[in-house]
Amino acid sequence: MSSSFLVNKHSQQLLHYRCLRTPSIKALSDTGTSWIGVPNDLLNNILWQTKGWWDGNRRLYIVECSTIHNLPPMLFRIAGLKFTVPSEHYILDLNIGNGQCVLAVFPVEAGAFKTQFVLGQPFIRTYCQTYDIKNKRIGISVARPQRN
């Protein structure tokens, strides 16, 4: 089951909570979304920086797998704090062939809630999120790496 709450740039420090009632840029933290949703203009910038392209047959954004470790992290600012998602989390090798990997992003068009970002699995792999459903707040901390 997916849990979602609005996260905004007014959240407090890592490991702390803040009530999310006055957002200015709305982002949805969604455990049920596989990728990161971004506004179209930002998506175009990401494609330019990663040298990515749209593959209409696969309906995926593609980058060369050889770039996984050479690309910069995605940066999100929440309450003045920097949250970075490394390229290893937003570029996925799904064995599609030809040395191509998937750029784990999708365009977001603001709907009824005017959500501008969807912080899906690439963000969640990087940051542990604790949902306080009763008080409608979320805590964000650095995720522990998995041990093999």
Chosen CATH of 4-142 out of 3.40.640.10, 3.90.280.10, 3.40.50.10210, 2.40.70.10: 2.40.70.10
Q: 10-20 pLDDT, tens per residue? A: 333 333 333 44
| Alpha helices, H only, 26-72 | 40-50
Residue 78: name the closest of 3, 7, 6 by CA: 7
Question: Rounded CA gap, 78 and 85, in Å?
Answer: 13
Question: Rounded CA gap, 84 and 73, in Å?
Answer: 6
Q: 78-113 pLDDT, tens per residue? A: 767 788 899 999 999 999 999 999 999 999 876 655
Task: Say which residue, 47 or 32, is predicted with more confidence.
Answer: 47
Question: Rounded CA gap, 71 and 91, in Å?
Answer: 9
Confirm whether pTM is higher than 0.75. no
Question: Rounded CA gap, 26 and 23, in Å?
Answer: 6
